[in-house]
Each structure stands twice: as C-alpha cells, then as structure tokens.
C-alpha cells in the first residue's frame, strides 16, 4: 500500500533512499498562504548533508548509467501511474501549500503527467553518431552519455511541475539528481517528488532531496564538485548569482528566470477571444507565473472595445479561498509578496497610472488589478510583476507595438492576436523573446517544444531535443584502421 503524502509525513530530508530529519539548528515553517495554518516544520539540511546527498548520487549514478534504458523507462511508467492514481491527494497538497486554486492545481498535475509520459521516451532517446573523417581509414564515433549528477533548484509557483521538468528527464537520461525546493514549497517542490519516485521503485541514491536555505549552507549546493549541471528556476537576481558561482567550477547552467511578457492585440483580432487569452495569461495562479502577460498591448483602433471587455472579465473573477472550486484568484505565496505587489500598484498610481479595476489587499489576497495610463518612463513597465496586475497599453501600428514589447530587460514569452496568422508570425519574429504564441496565451509549455528565454529571462533551453542536450554530454572516440601518415 502506498504511504500517505501528508505534510507531516513529508517534512523530512530524503538522502540515499532514507527519510530523515535534517541536522541543522533551525526549521523551515511551511505555512498555508490562505489561512496562515502551519503545515509542517522541517529541520534544515546542513552542508554536510548536502555532501552526503551528492556522494550518494555519485555512487548510484554509475550503475544507473549502465542500466538498460528500457529498464530505466519502467520507472517512469510506474511514476506516471502513481500520479494518476493519487491525483486528488496531490491536488490537495498544491492547494494548501501554494494557495493555488483547484483549477491551477489540476493544470499543474496535468503538466506533470505529460512530463512523465515524455520521460519514458527520453529514457531511450540518446543516440550516437558516426561522422565522416577527413583521414582515410579513420572512423569517428560520437557517443552521447549522461552528465553524471544534476543539481535542480525548483521555485514556489509551479513547484511539482517545474521540479519534475528537470528531475524526470535527467534521471531518464541516466543521470542522478540532488533537488533543493524553494523554502515556500518544500513539499510539493521537493519531498513529494521523492515520494513519487520512491513508490515507482527508483533505485536508492539516484534522487536526493535537501530542504535547506543559503543561510545554512551558503553556496555549498552549487560549489560542490559532484554536480556538473545546475538547473535553476527562479528570479533573475538569484539566477545571476547561481551562474556566477557555477562558472567558477566550469559547471553548465540551465537558467529559467523571470519574464515581462506582452500579449499584443492587433486591429483585426477576435476581441472576445483575445480578452479570454489575456485574462488567463495574466491571472492564472494570481499572476505568479514567469510567462504571465504583465502587459496587454492593444491597437488604439480597438482600444475602447477591448478595454470594456477586458475590465468586465477581470471584475468577474472570483477571489478568495483556493479550496473553493469556484475561486479563480487566491492568495499570493506570502505576506512579503503581497506587500511588494501592493506597493508596486501604489507606485504606478503615484507615477500617473489609473486603476480601472482593483481594490484593497486583504491578507495575502491582492485583488485582480488593471492599470492604464502608465507613463512610458515608469519602472513598472520594465519589471516582472509577480502578482495579479495587468498593464493595459495602447499602441499605434505594428512598429510601435514591437518597440513597446521589446522595451524590457526580459524576453521569455509573448503572444500576438490577429485574424491573419502569417501577419502574426511576421510580428512575432520581431519580438526579442524565446517563445511567442500566435492566437493563444503567453502561458504555454509542451514537453517537445523548446522552452527558454532571451536577455534576463535566462540561458539554455529545456524540452524536446534541448532537454537531451542539457542533461547529456558527448564523448568522441576515433579508430584508425591502418596507419596514419603523420606530418613530421
């Protein structure tokens, strides 16, 4: 029988296949962001325990890399069954720990299942090459091999999915993993992942979860000599630090960072549909999504109609307890984030913006807000807003839309709405962003489609062939049949 997945059961470190308390001198308190209830207290892991996790991964990976990939694949088939059979249980954990609505939780679990389905394919996805040689009688063989051990650092917004997005393919491709979840999502972003793979009979030591904080371990997680790849999802500020520390050890980084996406509504767009896409793109999970449409850019010729439809739709969003299946916008992850977003709204209004929709923040719930008339020099236009705040911005013609969309240090996602799809593609090609979607949401992620950003939105890519590149390396072996005529 499967063990339960309650917060108390999962308030532990998972190292070398064993559940155990951390040896640190303090605790991370896991709190429900809606009602403030204490979910669990987790004693942090120390730097010594980080070392133990990496050493366990290093030992286990040697055998795992040599395991038949068809045998490895069975682990992910079993993991998928675990998630399918216990979806309701995992949904409750997401709602409680993240303040995620039931709709969001269902969306996240569906993404996790797709990632596990693709991981069964990644287990057999590595192929070598035999390139031609410029030397007679020489055979070139290029082997694709696991990188060894991967460090995964997951965020708090979609923690189960974004942890699984790196953990599952890295394991499937023959590497081991040490996972550190965000302190605000230690269970759904960390120990729950371990529980899923434990129940799927992943060999001990291949996946280790350390719940800790930089205040306890410093940079030990990144500086440690064992991991060769660091997969980090989070803010660009922390991402810069991760990249700087990793560079000193010549470690490869895959950094999925922040965004300031623009959803562009052209003059020929289906306005009702564009509004639906914009509302989803901005307000899913209270706007705590790196791909969220911070900015809704609307051609001035359709601005009045778009504004009326958009504001009416936003006013109709239900806020409150995320456990209520009718609620669409719940709390932000904590009071610090709620205070920060509230201050940002107030700053934008002081700069001259007008709030078309909004209201007072209550505890951690920031009401859905629509701001217009934001001055072009306002800092809010160029930063990531990790909350339920949309900036409605008019433009005159495509060239101005491109200029406004690109006037940000970020470049992760975007969208263009138009009746002419090829017109949308032409405009999309002019936006400095890693991903952009014609007649869809800015929030889109599929296992086979390259995911990643430009500028301060990160470096490296995941999904599809990019995932194989991220978590494998190549080794070239040449064979000289006969004798080489050396040039001296």
DSSP codes joined into one string, 256-309:
E-----EEEE-TTS-HHHHHHHHHHHHHGGGG--TT--SEEEEEGGGHHHHHHH
pLDDT for 392-435, tens place per residue? Answer: 999 999 999 999 999 999 999 999 999 999 999 999 999 999 99
CA 474 to chain CA mean position, Å: 26
CA 140 to chain CA mean position, Å: 38
Residues 370-386 have a mean pLDDT of 95
Question: Residue 3: is its pLDDT beyond 80?
Answer: no
Question: Residue 285: is its pLDDT beyond 90?
Answer: yes
Contact (CB, 8 A) for 83 and 90: yes
pLDDT for 303-346, tens place per residue? Answer: 999 999 999 999 999 999 999 999 999 999 999 999 999 999 99
Residues across the chain: 488
Residues ≥6 apart with Cβ < 8 Å to 194 = 14, 179, 207, 208, 209
* pTM for this entry: 0.96
Q: What's the CATH architecture for 262-438?
A: 3-Layer(aba) Sandwich (3.40)
Residues 363-379 have a mean pLDDT of 96
What is the average pLDDT score of the chain?
Answer: 96
CA distance 201 to 247: 35
Sign of CA dihedral 397, 399, 400, 406: positive
CA 144 to chain CA mean position, Å: 26
Q: CA of 410: how far to CAs of 256, 294, 399, 406, in Å? A: 11, 11, 19, 8
Sign of CA dihedral 46, 47, 50, 52: negative
pLDDT for 161-215, tens place per residue? Answer: 999 999 999 999 999 999 999 999 999 999 999 999 999 999 999 999 999 999 9
Residue 125 is predicted with a pLDDT of 86
Pull the structure tokens for residue 111: 């993404």
Residue 487 is predicted with a pLDDT of 84
Task: Write down the domain spans for the chain.
Answer: 13-257+457-475, 262-438
Helix (H, G, I), strand (E, B) or coil at 58: helix
pLDDT for 205-226, tens place per residue? Answer: 999 999 999 999 999 999 999 9
Give the alpha-carbon dihedral of 43, 49, 54, 60, to 10 degrees: -90
Question: Residue 1: is its pLDDT beyond 50?
Answer: no
Residues 16-38 have a mean pLDDT of 97
Residue 400 is predicted with a pLDDT of 98
CA distance 294 to 466: 27
CA distance 264 to 408: 15
Residues 281-308 have a mean pLDDT of 98
pLDDT over 90 percentage in the chain:
97
Helix (H, G, I), strand (E, B) or coil at 253: strand
Inter-axis angle of helices 192-199 and 159-172, nearest 10: 40
Of 418, 368, 23, the closest CA to residue 216 belongs to 23
Residues 59-79 have a mean pLDDT of 97
pLDDT over 70 percentage in the chain:
99
CA distance 175 to 244: 24
Question: Residue 389: is its pLDDT beyond 70?
Answer: yes
CA distance 171 to 148: 10
CA distance 170 to 197: 13
Q: Which of 47-51, 55-59, 125-129 has the lowest mean pLDDT?
A: 125-129
CA distance 208 to 226: 13
Residues 87-104 have a mean pLDDT of 96
Residues 375-393 have a mean pLDDT of 95
- DSSP state letter for 189: I
Catalytically active residues are 256, 290
CATH of domain 13-257+457-475: 3.40.605.10
Residues 129-146 have a mean pLDDT of 96
């Amino acid at each position: 029988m499967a063990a339960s997945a309650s917060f108390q059961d999962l308030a532990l470190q998972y190292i070398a296949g064993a559940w155990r308390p951390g040896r640190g001198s303090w605790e991370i308190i896991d709190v429900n962001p809606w009602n403030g209830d204490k979910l669990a207290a987790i004693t942090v892991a120390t730097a010594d325990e980080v070392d133990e996790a990496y050493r366990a991964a290093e030992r286990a990976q040697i055998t795992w890399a040599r395991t038949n990939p068809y045998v490895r694949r069975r682990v992910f088939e079993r993991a998928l069954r675990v998630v399918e059979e216990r979806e309701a249980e995992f949904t409750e954990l997401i709602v409680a720990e993240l303040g995620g609505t039931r709709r969001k939780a269902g969306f996240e679990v569906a993404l996790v299942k797709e990632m596990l389905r693709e991981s069964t394919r990644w287990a057999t996805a590595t192929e070598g090459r035999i390139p031609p040689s410029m030397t007679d009688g020489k055979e070139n063989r290029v082997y694709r091999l696991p990188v060894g051990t991967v460090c995964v650092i997951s965020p708090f917004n979609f923690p189960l999915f974004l942890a699984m997005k790196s953990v599952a393919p890295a394991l499937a491709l023959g590497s081991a993993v040490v996972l550190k979840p965000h302190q605000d999502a230690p269970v759904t972003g960390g120990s729950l992942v371990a529980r899923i793979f434990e129940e799927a009979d992943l060999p001990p030591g291949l996946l280790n979860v350390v719940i800790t904080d930089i205040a306890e371990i410093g940079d030990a997680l990144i500086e440690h000599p064992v991991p060769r790849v660091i997969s980090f999802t989070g803010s660009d500020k922390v991402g810069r630090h991760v990249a700087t520390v990793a560079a000193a050890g010549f470690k490869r980084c895959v950094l999925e960072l922040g965004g300031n996406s623009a959803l562009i509504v052209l003059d020929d767009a289906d306005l009702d549909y564009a509004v639906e896409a914009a509302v989803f793109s901005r307000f899913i999970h209270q706007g705590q999504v790196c791909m969220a449409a911070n900015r809704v850019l609307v051609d001035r010729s359709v601005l009045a109609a778009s504004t009326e439809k958009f504001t009416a739709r936003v006013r109709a969003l239900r806020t409150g307890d995320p456990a209520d299946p009718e609620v669409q916008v719940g709390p932000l992850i904590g009071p610090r984030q709620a205070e920060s977003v509230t201050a940002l709204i107030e700053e934008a209004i002081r700069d001259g913006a007008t709030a078309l929709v909004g209201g007072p923040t209550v505890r951690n719930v920031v009401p859905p807000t629509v701001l217009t008339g934001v001055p072009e020099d306002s800092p809010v236009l160029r930063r990531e807003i990790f909350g339920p705040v949309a900036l409605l911005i008019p433009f005159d013609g495509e060239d101005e839309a491109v200029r406004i969309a690109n006037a940000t240090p970020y470049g992760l996602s975007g969208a263009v709405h138009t009746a002419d799809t090829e017109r949308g593609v032409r405009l999309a090609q002019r936006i400095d962003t890693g991903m952009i979607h014609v007649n869809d949401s800015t929030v889109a992620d599929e296992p086979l489609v390259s995911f990643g950003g430009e500028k301060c939105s990160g470096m490296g890519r995941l999904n599809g062939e990019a995932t194989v590149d991220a978590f494998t390396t190549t080794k070239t072996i040449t064979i000289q049949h006969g004798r080489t005529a050396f040039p001296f």
